[in-house]
Structures are given as C-alpha cells and as structure tokens.
Structure 1
Amino acid sequence: MKNEIAIHNSEWIKDKIYTVCGEQVMLDFELAEIYGYETKAFNQQVKNNIERFDEDFRFQLTVEEFNEILRCKNSASNEILRSKNLTSKTENRGGRRYMPYAFTEQGIYMLMTVLKGELAVAQSKILIRMFKEMKHFLQNNANIFAEINTIKQNLLETNVHQKEADKRIDELFTLMDKYNVEEKQGIFFQGQIFDAYAKFESFIAQAKKEIILIDGYVDLSVLERLSKKQSGVNVTIYTDPKTKLTAQDIQKFNAQYPTMSVKHTTKMHDRFLIVDGKTLYHIGASLKDLGKKCFAFELLEPSLIPAILQNV
C-alpha cells in the first residue's frame, strides 16, 4: 500500500544519509517514505526482485550499527531527540520488530529500476540529483568533510574569525573540485558510483542510431544502463562467451527496448564504447563495476574505430 506522496527537497533527503562501515547508506523506512510506501510494502517490492540486491547493495543493520547512527547523527545536543525519532519510526511503521535494512548507493540506484511509475521516476530523479550534489561528501572526502564540520562548530561556539573561516571553506571546496570530470577525459574515484553511471548514461544519450559496446563482463546492470538509450537506437554488444547474460535476458530487453544483439569475442581486453560510428570512448573499468574502484575514461580519435571493429 502506498502513502500520499510528499516530494521532499534535497536538504531533507541529505539528513537521511548515514555512514555505516565506511559506506553511505539510506534506511528502508525513510526510503519508503520518500517513495510513498508503507515500509512493509516497500521491502516486499525489494524481496520480489531480491536477485538484484546483492549484499553490497542492501544489508540489515546490527543493533550496534543502528545505535552508532543514533549517536553520530546531528550534534550531541540533538542526540536524544534524534534517537527517539528514529526509534519511533522503526518501531511504529507496521509494527516492525527487526533492525532496518540499509541500501548503499548501488542499492539505491538498483532500487530505481524496481519501483515503476511516474511518481517513482520523479522521486528517483530527486535522489540522483541529490547524490550528485553530495559527491563532495563521499567517503574519499571524509577528512575534508570533518574539517568543514570543525570550522562550522567553531563558528557556532565563538562566532569569531568568520571571514577567515569562510576563506578556509572556499579553499576546501576548491580542493574537492579536483574530482570534477572533464568532457573528453577524467577520473572517477572509488565510491563515485552515481557520477560514473551518470557520465556513462550521458554517453548513451548521445546516440542517434547505433551503440557498440565492447566489454568482456556484461551483466543485467549494464542492460539497465543501456535501457536509457533513445528509441530506435540499435545496440551491439561484444562480450566474453562466459558472460552472465542469457538468451532470455536479451529477449526481454528487446521486447521493451529494441533492438540489441550480443556477439561473443575473446580478443579484447579493454572496454570501448562506439556511438553512431563516429565517437569512440575508452573506459578503464567494466561497465558493471563503475565506481567500485578508481578508473579513468578518455575520448579517442574516431579514426581508430575501423581497426577496433576489424579485430574484435
């Protein structure tokens, strides 16, 4: 059963992001609220598609992990109030008596493929944009984030040296801007999952007629990305014969997003994406692993395309 939908702004959603075991996560009952579901119904939707949610996508919190969230969220003066609010939500939503499930960034992204409909799309867009805004707060910037919090706390306590503190904050954000990705080449660092997928989908969106993907390790998550292509764009995938894709997977994809063909090759080590026969990208990671580890991409000379296709 769905509740009445409330479109929350990014600031409200940011307050629902927690760090557990070094991962940024959101909890099931708060995601259910965002999508307008009762918690039980929300988790049932996930269970109906449980094959999409590996342990690094979704896991159940321990009592210690949940208590750590209560201790760390917000300032010490608000800790008791925050603890009561979260505990109340977890106990009163459908009478649950178990610890919440936590969804990592990958899990949230996969969740967007499970919940269908216009309202789900609208809420998913807010989450995507919000995570884009939050990239400065990813784990690889934890030390910078801690320093910013220290600066803010000092400002609250002393209300002095404001100009100097503002300058320091500007300098810190300037440092974080080194993670901005240029259009023709760039590097994504470990944990920048949404940024990596957003960049890949921007490549897909360029295609008017044809997409050729050369990647030895293609799975269903890659097809999820390719489903964002424009209507009428044909897709050809060259991948290893041991790929996890089945004939049924291809048939289901083509039933909704025609037309895709899969060819097998063992000749290629690197990953390439060719768009409309004139744009060539070299991608340093298999597309199913974008953002899991540091990788780079670059735009290559289109004159290389014929040689690549001849040797695939």
Structure 2
Amino acid sequence: MENQIIPDEVIMTKIFYIRGQKVMLDKDLAELYGTETKKLKQQVNRNLNRFPSHYMFELTKEENELLRSQNATLKKGEHSKYLPFVFTEHGILMLSNVLKSESAVQVSIRIIDVFVRLREVYAEQTEVWLVIEKIKSKLDNQDKNMEIVFRYLDELINKKENQPPRKTIGFKPDGF
C-alpha cells in the first residue's frame, strides 16, 4: 500500500482492543508500511529499548487464538509460528522512527490521525451516554415522585371514605 492514500476504514478494521488498549498487529502494520512482517520485527528487535510495554507487547497464545477465532482472515497455519507483536498508538509513532522511510512516516501519520478520530468519536459517544443517563435518572425520580403523589391521594380518598360525615359548625337555619 506504499505511496497510496489509505482509507480510514481500512485502518479502522485493523485496530483491535486488547488488554484495555487500542492496538494494531505487526502483520497489518507491515502491510500498511509496504514491508514484510519479518523485516518489521527485525527492526523492532534491534531497537527494543524504544518499545516499552505500553508501546508494544507480544500477544499470549490465548490472545492470539481468540483473535484468530474473532477474525476470519487470521486462519490457523497461514501465518508465522511466532506470536505477533501489537503496537499501541505510541508504538506506531516509534515504528516510523525505526523504519526510517518517508512512506513509514506518512503511513504512521495517517494511522495516528485515525486513532485521534476514534478517540474523539468515543468522547462524543460518552458525552451522549452521560446525557441519556442523566435524563433517565430524572425520569426515574419523577416516576418515584408521581408514585408518592398517587399513594397520598389514595390514602386521602380512603381516609375520607372511612370517616363519618363531619358535623357542621356554626349557624344552622331551620330545615337543615
């Protein structure tokens, strides 16, 4: 995909949520950068000090199997015998420094832009959910208040029906 504008949708389909972080697989990044996964991993291994665990980590066997079962394109036996590396947003930025090519820099910028857009969408979505929850809470309170009002009305009606008629006070003209 080198020297081509990569559509946001293509990048988004390659972002996974693993260990509470949005990450991309080494093979997907290699494809986007226009290189082989093996070469990408070699460069990373030569520069491991630039990739702390919050920038990049290796999947466990269980995580890899789960990812394969969720993604039909990751068929067993078609890929490396080594567990994949996954890169966070910061790791992707560091990759462009390690790969040292202009196309790697451009691809990294595109990927980071998508990460930023996803964060913005998530923030907007969170705000909408908070407003909805606030409205629900108000409606719940109003429902409870209405319930109390109706309960009091029922009590007043029952109390009035069960009491003997009140004796009138004051002047009584004849015939009453």
Specify the TM-score bucket, using the shorter chain as the normaliser.
0.5 to 0.7
- Find the aligned partners of 2:20 and 2:40 in 1 and give their Cα distance: 25
Q: Do the aligned partners of 1:5 and 1:34 also contact (CA within 8 Å) in 2?
A: no
Q: Do the aligned partners of 2:58 and 2:84 also contact (CA within 8 Å) in 1?
A: yes
Please report how far the alpha carbon of residue 136 of structure 1 lies from its aligned counterpart in structure 2 after TM superposition. Answer: 3.5
Change (3 A) 1:40 1:6: farther
User: Corresponding residue for 2:112?
Assistant: 128
Amino acid at match of 2:128: L
- Find the aligned partners of 1:66 and 1:5 in 2 and give their Cα distance: 30
- What is the aligned counterpart of 1:98 among 82, 86, 110? 82
Please report how far the alpha carbon of residue 6 of structure 1 lies from its aligned counterpart in structure 2 after TM superposition. Answer: 4.8
- Find the aligned partners of 2:26 and 2:75 in 1 and give their Cα distance: 13
Q: Give 1:102-251 correspondences, 5 Å limit.
A: 102-136=86-120, 144=125, 172=128
Structure number with larger C-alpha Rg: 2
- Find the aligned partners of 1:120 and 1:173 in 2 and give their Cα distance: 37
Larger proportion of helix:
2
- What is the aligned counterpart of 1:59 among 57, 60, 63? 57
User: Corresponding residue for 2:24?
Assistant: 26
Please report how far the alpha carbon of residue 5 of structure 1 lies from its aligned counterpart in structure 2 after TM superposition. Answer: 5.5
Structure with the larger RCO, 1 or 2 (CA within 8 Å, 6+ apart): 2
Q: Do the aligned partners of 1:6 and 1:34 also contact (CA within 8 Å) in 2?
A: no
- Find the aligned partners of 1:46 and 1:7 in 2 and give their Cα distance: 25
Change (3 A) 1:133 1:52: same
The alignment of Structure 1 onto Structure 2 pairs a total of residues equal to: 130
Please report how far the alpha carbon of residue 113 of structure 1 lies from its aligned counterpart in structure 2 after TM superposition. Answer: 1.9
Q: Give 1:58-97 correspondences, 5 Å limit.
A: 58-71=56-69, 73=70, 82-83=71-72, 85-87=73-75, 91-92=77-78, 96-97=80-81
User: Corresponding residue for 2:45?
Assistant: 47
Please report how far the alpha carbon of residue 86 of structure 1 lies from its aligned counterpart in structure 2 after TM superposition. Answer: 1.6
User: Corresponding residue for 1:215?
Assistant: none
TM-score (norm 2): 0.63
Change (3 A) 1:173 1:10: farther
Please report how far the alpha carbon of residue 119 of structure 1 lies from its aligned counterpart in structure 2 after TM superposition. Answer: 1.2
Please report how far the alpha carbon of residue 58 of structure 1 lies from its aligned counterpart in structure 2 after TM superposition. Answer: 1.2
CA RMSD of aligned residues (A): 2.7
Moved beyond 6 Å, runs of 4+: none
User: Corresponding residue for 1:17?
Assistant: 15
Please report how far the alpha carbon of residue 129 of structure 1 lies from its aligned counterpart in structure 2 after TM superposition. Answer: 1.4
**Could you give the per-residue CA deviations for residues 170-214 of structure 1, whole angstroms, max 9, x where no partner exists?**
x72897xxxxxxxxxxxxxxxxxxxxxxxxxxxxxxxxxxxxxxx
Change (3 A) 1:113 1:4: closer
Q: Do the aligned partners of 1:6 and 1:36 also contact (CA within 8 Å) in 2?
A: no
Aligned-pair identity (%): 38
- Find the aligned partners of 2:58 and 2:117 in 1 and give their Cα distance: 27
Please report how far the alpha carbon of residue 54 of structure 1 lies from its aligned counterpart in structure 2 after TM superposition. Answer: 1.1
Change (3 A) 1:172 1:118: same
